[in-house]
Structure 1
């Protein structure tokens, strides 16, 4: 269970084995610590007691801080959840050897595969309803397949030697993917195309908010696996940049966020915004609800069906065992479509 606090003037406190959310003398929510997975604070002006922080640390419950647009700017974890020294040493060493290059290629291939497959899924519903649209996107889907083949042909060697090629492939693939998405959208949004932070149009705002929620989930998986969220492979190191989170999230953007948000938009969901372009509380609540529901959906994975939340944690653990040398290969997660 998640505890999400998004109202100014609220206060989170511990009360008899529970976290309680109060506003003045009104009780807004109360969740037992034993069933709480994580806490998300999604507003300014929210207070939390030191007792609540300690209780979360003792129960292994991370506390994530997100802006109203979904940008994750801080997280609190128990010191006991920061993993083993062995794993983190191996993670840093992998950056200098073939394992880091293998991971970078895997992240790009996984992203391209899921983009390609989502376009195919969206297109098949137009084959009968809108044959002209179906035909327009077929060359785009074919180009996506070409980008996947190009990425697979990049031979893992020193990471710094192959990263420029992988970034080029990823960028060209992303451009074709979002062009295809624009062609396949049924709603009249006058969408300008994909924009990241600072976007004010409804669809990009919803996507960015969804990625922010997914970001906090991925970071938690990496920390629980003993990995350093800031030591990435495909994404470069910069102060304050959680490069490994940005690496691993690539396997799940389309499966968790794009599929959910684009599906809602094509079903004529209204994305409400205020005068500043900020998503309304109602819209953010609806997106959160749908994304958390999607995370509980089961997908085929390693001969069985498990929830996407479990798959994300398993992929983080596979990543950790791969950098330590306990696993021979790392395979990105490709969703069934």
Structure 2
């Protein structure tokens, strides 16, 4: 089993990353002088995520590509820009099978991913109802999500699956604001907005969805699958469609739950964000570090995997699900067992 190694999040504007022998050296020029921010053994790092104006030396780029260390670049909002990809690994026969998956099997995988997403979303709403009380809109959303999950196995059209997924997301995010406790700071969530995020809650959601999506992409490449050939999300130039498929399984259980906790525990407030001229919200440096600390802590939590029956860390879920999907595509598993949160 893959060890859950450290992920490094670089948020300091103007930081310069380069390789010095067997260490990663991070420096920044302050008042004309070069200052060392961090120096750590490079082999201890699993992934490096760079946000904003970050510079990386050609030697470090080459090392990351050669060693399989995931290096990804994002803008200040957390929008993915690019990553470093080394030589192709994995089984070419598996990729051939992935490319030749027939419509019925592709549709079944798509329905499974959507069903898992809706189940986990519904559990999050039910937990809120148990802990904080009921409302008419909350109960309606819980009931409708259950109905959609029951409908999915009987659907034979791809567009209908997309329609049900969209309807479920609409019900879920219509009630999502109730999961954030009222506060004097007036942090409100009205609906899901992305480019750019129109409120602090959306800013955190977008950032963590983007980072987790890139980790899933790396996990898929690790088992030999092509992250751009999806089943729910169709191919589009530059988009890792299969990674987005698997991301659906983890949105509620990882990203949404972290976001709710950060605001409800008053670890984040409107003071931790800046707003640009077009209304987009961005996390300040200290707040972004706090979000990544919470994300790393979540990845260290242990759960019992519902299909394997084994205890694993949350951070290993993308690697486990990528492995199970590869087994299904090879024909070793009759169905792909998507991950979703149990009651």
Q: Which of residues 117, 124, 130 in structure 2 aligns to 1:118? A: 124
Instruction: Indicate the residue corresponding to 1:86 in structure 2.
Output: 93
Q: Which of residues 320, 324, 330 in structure 2 aligns to 1:324? A: 330
Q: Kindly provide the CA deviation profile for residues 145-172 of structure 1, in whole angstroms up to 9, marking residues without a partner as x.
A: 11110113225xxxxxx21110111011
> Is the alpha carbon distance of 1:92 and 1:261 closer, same or farther for their aligned partners in structure 2, counting shifts above 3 Å?
same
Q: Is the 8 A contact 1:273 1:280 kept in 2?
A: yes
Q: Which of residues 78, 81, 84 in structure 2 aligns to 1:76? A: 84
Instruction: Indicate the residue corresponding to 1:158 in structure 2.
Output: none
Measured in 2, the distance between the counterparts of 1:125 and 1:235 equals 35
Instruction: Indicate the residue corresponding to 1:237 in structure 2.
Output: 235
Instruction: Indicate the residue corresponding to 2:170 in structure 1.
Output: 175
Instruction: Indicate the residue corresponding to 2:319 in structure 1.
Output: 313
Per the normalisation by structure 2, the TM-score is 0.89
Matched, 1:61 2:69: yes
Matched, 1:52 2:60: yes
Matched, 1:16 2:25: no
Measured in 2, the distance between the counterparts of 1:335 and 1:28 equals 39
Measured in 2, the distance between the counterparts of 1:320 and 1:69 equals 32
Instruction: Indicate the residue corresponding to 1:274 in structure 2.
Output: 274
Instruction: Indicate the residue corresponding to 1:30 in structure 2.
Output: 39
How far is 1:59 from its partner? 2.7
* Secondary structure at the counterpart of residue 73 of structure 2: strand
Measured in 1, the distance between the counterparts of 2:235 and 2:66 equals 31
Measured in 2, the distance between the counterparts of 1:18 and 1:285 equals 22
How far is 1:335 from its partner? 2.1
> Is the alpha carbon distance of 1:248 and 1:139 closer, same or farther for their aligned partners in structure 2, counting shifts above 3 Å?
same
Q: Kindly provide the CA deviation profile for residues 227-249 of structure 1, in whole angstroms up to 9, marking residues without a partner as x.
A: 11111111122212221111110
Measured in 2, the distance between the counterparts of 1:58 and 1:319 equals 26
State how many pairs are aligned: 323
Per the normalisation by structure 1, the TM-score is 0.91
Q: Kindly provide the CA deviation profile for residues 88-123 of structure 1, in whole angstroms up to 9, marking residues without a partner as x.
A: 1111111x3422121111111111111111111111
Runs in 1 of length 4+ with deviation above 6 angstroms?
none
Instruction: Indicate the residue corresponding to 2:141 in structure 1.
Output: 140
Measured in 2, the distance between the counterparts of 1:111 and 1:224 equals 23
> Is the alpha carbon distance of 1:137 and 1:319 closer, same or farther for their aligned partners in structure 2, counting shifts above 3 Å?
same
Measured in 1, the distance between the counterparts of 2:136 and 2:160 equals 30
How far is 1:54 from its partner? 2.5
Measured in 2, the distance between the counterparts of 1:175 and 1:332 equals 22
Instruction: Indicate the residue corresponding to 2:152 in structure 1.
Output: 151
How far is 1:38 from its partner? 0.9
How far is 1:206 from its partner? 1.4
Query: Which 5+ residue runs of structure 2 have no aligned equivalent?
Result: 1-5
Measured in 2, the distance between the counterparts of 1:15 and 1:69 equals 30
Measured in 2, the distance between the counterparts of 1:284 and 1:320 equals 34
The alignment's C-alpha RMSD in Å is 1.7
Query: Which 5+ residue runs of structure 1 have no aligned equivalent?
Result: 128-132, 156-161
Instruction: Indicate the residue corresponding to 1:259 in structure 2.
Output: 257
Q: Is the 8 A contact 1:62 1:78 kept in 2?
A: no
